[in-house]
Amino acid sequence: MLVDVDSVWGNLALMKLGAYHKNRGDSVQLLRFPKLWRPKLGKPIQLQIKCNSYKFDKVYISCIFTRNREKAESIASMMRTFGAEVEVGGSGVNLEKWLPNDVEHQMPLYELYNMQYSVGFLTRGCVRRCPWCVVWRKEGDIKVWSPLKEFLHPKHDKVMLLDNNLLAHPNSKDLLLQLVSRRLQVCFTQGLDIRLIDDENAKILRLIRYRDTEFKTPRLYFSWDTLEIENEVYRGIETLKKHGIPPHHLFFYMLCAYNVKAENYTWDYFMQNDFYRYEALAKIGIKPFIMKWNGRTDIKLLNAFTKWVNYKHKAKRKDLGLLNSFKSYFNYEYNVNLERL
């Protein structure tokens, strides 16, 4: 039994475990929990509805996000009452737990999620040491991880790469050229490092059929997490533009409210840090996306800004300009006098 607690897309570890056990002749079943399931609300009957049989002797539970750790542990306890051997893994519960080598390098069992695209890592690790990130703590320095053929299904012409800093690897250009030669549609969902964009890799990226997570729209993902890298962000954008990749093809994650106390997140701080980055990107046609550090919800101003940027597209009134449009939305949603912030 494979239990997916919180994956946004198909869970790669569970698909590899599924392939391993299926190749051994075992019966494999996937169980996904509702997105809004909570331990205090979830009841065994909910599990029964979603599970065809309790006749399983091994259960693997994957938890990606730390906020869902309690959920994963609650499910594990529930499963053990059925007499099953249970293993819980994933970044949300244990950064040091890895799949056995013979499982890690299996072709994923894509049929578990009825996936029409492949997913995997060409590289793992990162050269950066961003204090808010778990990648370098879990994976260490950048290294080649799997050859493309290991996880690219023969019937798929689309691939979602989970590499956290592909461009940082010394052989990144050769890895990118493989994607070009196969004429694949590629989603760099975890983002590329804008600081590492140069003329050579920009030319190669232009040749790749890069796509968003739905494989519908041309999209390259990057991040701008601190003001300190502002000049490098602009330089990278200009380099991409010079080689035929327009700003409206770019999507930037923006980390907000890291290491900031709620009482220090003032209107001035917001304007100088978060709105400043958003406005700089939006004005040149780039789509920003707010990532609140640790999913924090204790800052009303940031909550409103996140909704307005990420989801309330109809609330962006061009006739008001970006700032006045947000002020109008904030006042409407929260009835707050911005002059007092």
pLDDT higher than 60, residue 54: no
Using CA atoms, how far apart are residues 236 and 253, in angstroms rounded to an integer?
15
CATH for 106-340? 3.30.750.210
pLDDT higher than 70, residue 129: yes
Tally helices (H) and strands (E) across the chain.
13, 13
pLDDT band at 34 (very low <50, low <70, confident <90, very high): low
pLDDT higher than 90, residue 222: yes
pLDDT higher than 60, residue 110: yes
**What pLDDT is stored for residue 254 in this prediction?**
97
**What pLDDT is stored for residue 24 in this prediction?**
93
Q: Which two tokens stand for residue 29?
A: 């079943």
**What pLDDT is stored for residue 340 in this prediction?**
53
Burial 50-82 (b: 16+ CB within 10 A, else e): eeeeeebeebbbbbbbeebbebbbbbbebbeeb
pTM: 0.88
Lowest mean pLDDT among 46-55, 240-249, 312-321, 330-339: 46-55
pLDDT band at 104 (very low <50, low <70, confident <90, very high): very high
pLDDT higher than 50, residue 55: yes
Average pLDDT over residues 126-135: 90
CA triple 306-307-311, angle to 5 deg: 120
Ordered DSSP codes for 258-272: TT--GGG--HHHHII
**What pLDDT is stored for residue 142 in this prediction?**
95
Closest CA to 184 of 108, 117, 113: 117
pLDDT higher than 90, residue 239: yes
Measured from the Cβ of residue 237, the count of other Cβ atoms closer than 10 Å reads: 23
**What pLDDT is stored for residue 37 in this prediction?**
43
Average pLDDT over residues 232-246: 98
pLDDT band at 45 (very low <50, low <70, confident <90, very high): very low
Under 8 Å between Cβ of 92 and 6: yes
pLDDT band at 71 (very low <50, low <70, confident <90, very high): confident
**What pLDDT is stored for residue 271 in this prediction?**
96
Measured from the Cβ of residue 336, the count of other Cβ atoms closer than 10 Å reads: 15
Closest CA to 163 of 177, 180, 146: 146
Q: What is the largest CA-CA distance in the chain?
A: 67
Q: Where are the domains of the chain?
A: 2-89, 106-340
pLDDT higher than 80, residue 319: yes
Task: Share the mean pLDDT of the chain.
Answer: 89
Using CA atoms, how far apart are residues 145 and 162, in angstroms rounded to an integer?
11
